[in-house]
Amino acid sequence: MLTRGWCLEFDFWGTAVQVTGVHRADRDHLGFTFREFRVAGSTSCDWRFRLDVEDRSVGFVDALRRPDLKKRVWCRPRLGDETLYDEFDRHSSRAGFIPPFGMDPLVSRFRLVHAAALTAHDQTLVIRGASGAGKTTLALALLGRGWRLHSDDVAVLDDAGRVHPFPKPMNVRTRVLPLFPALADRVPTVACSMMTDSGLTHMTHANDVGLELASAPTGNIIYVDLERSTRLLALGRISPNQLHLTCDVATMLDETVDLLCTAVLAS
């Protein structure tokens, strides 16, 4: 649905960002996804972004699933003119604009890892793996054992080797909910649900379902490289701070978590 125009303001680690558009669905999606970073009434802004789709009847988020439509993101720094940040049909070749990790000052402060990140026992796990490997499922199981969540899909690391909280929603697929009976009824009621290539996915803020978030950056990182295998459960130590975990998380959940926690406590 079109509106007369909307504006959202965010603060990402001290970088003030404003996003504008015309479709209510885009406003609701971005507002929900980055709600922990929302601010209001900011008097200054480091970056301004404007969403644009060649077919004005289609929202930007919906257009991302439409390779026939051209999408544009325009940007303007605090001091400067508006320029084209990105233009694409199918997939963007640039870093996402929100948060603006590909732009100053965040580009010089942080590096990103495609991983889930959690902390407990004075250790921080950064669980790397391909999409569908089971990172979110493993993270949910660890949260059920008292770990605290930094992030579900993107780990944000600084030059000092610390992982920073990045409280976006967890992408919980419908097919894994039966593994977590305590969450199965709650997740669909508080989530923003959408169809993805992996089926129905529930974007769920961990604290909406009683799971604990990390509140500050943490170090002592152990990297876990997760590889999916339906025939094998194995954990190897590549180095003091790197493990290689081979398993099918969904069918070996308790055994996988027991094995991983034992290895972490022994580190």
> Which residue, of 104, 122, 142, is where some domain finishes?
104
Token pair in block for residue 177 = 């909910």
Are 88 and 125 part of one and the same domain? no
Are 165 and 90 part of one and the same domain? no
Are 164 and 198 part of one and the same domain? yes
What sign has the CA pseudo-torsion 118, 205, 193, 73? negative
In one-letter notation, the amino acid at residue 125 is: L
What is the pLDDT averaged over residues 70-79? 94
The span from the first CA to the last CA of the chain, in angstroms, equals 53
pLDDT one-digit tens code per residue, 87-100: 988 888 787 899 99
Are 136 and 78 part of one and the same domain? no
What sign has the CA pseudo-torsion 244, 250, 251, 255? positive
> Which residue, of 45, 76, 104, is where some domain finishes?
104
Phi (first) and psi of residue 58, to 5 degrees: -110, 135
What sign has the CA pseudo-torsion 230, 234, 235, 237? negative
Residue 3 pLDDT > 60, yes or no?
no
Are 19 and 126 part of one and the same domain? no
Are 242 and 120 part of one and the same domain? yes
Are 39 and 152 part of one and the same domain? no
Are 48 and 117 part of one and the same domain? no
pLDDT for 4 equals: 67
Residue 169 pLDDT > 60, yes or no?
yes
Where residue 197 falls among pLDDT bands split at 50, 70, 90? confident
Q: Which domain holds residue 90?
A: 2-104
CA distance 258 to 261: 5
**How many Cβ atoms are within 10 Å of 161's Cβ, its own excluded?**
12
pLDDT one-digit tens code per residue, 47-59: 999 999 989 899 9
Token pair in block for residue 132 = 């569908």
What is the pLDDT averaged over residues 117-138? 94
Are 138 and 122 part of one and the same domain? yes
What sign has the CA pseudo-torsion 64, 69, 70, 75? negative
Q: Check which CATH number belongs to the domain holding 247 and give it.
A: 3.40.50
Token pair in block for residue 82 = 């508006």
pLDDT for 1 equals: 54
Residue 25 pLDDT > 70, yes or no?
yes
pLDDT one-digit tens code per residue, 133-145: 999 999 999 999 9
Token pair in block for residue 155 = 């780990």
- Give alpha helix (H) positions in 71-162: 106-109, 135-143
Are 41 and 123 part of one and the same domain? no
Are 8 and 69 part of one and the same domain? yes
> Which residue, of 104, 123, 141, is where some domain finishes?
104
Structural domain tally of the chain? 2
pLDDT one-digit tens code per residue, 218-231: 999 999 999 999 98
Are 30 and 47 part of one and the same domain? yes
What is the pLDDT averaged over residues 60-84? 93
CA distance 235 to 256: 9
Q: For the purposes of burial, counting CB atoms within 10 Å of the CB of 20, is it exposed (0-12), middle (13-18) or buried (19 or more)?
A: middle
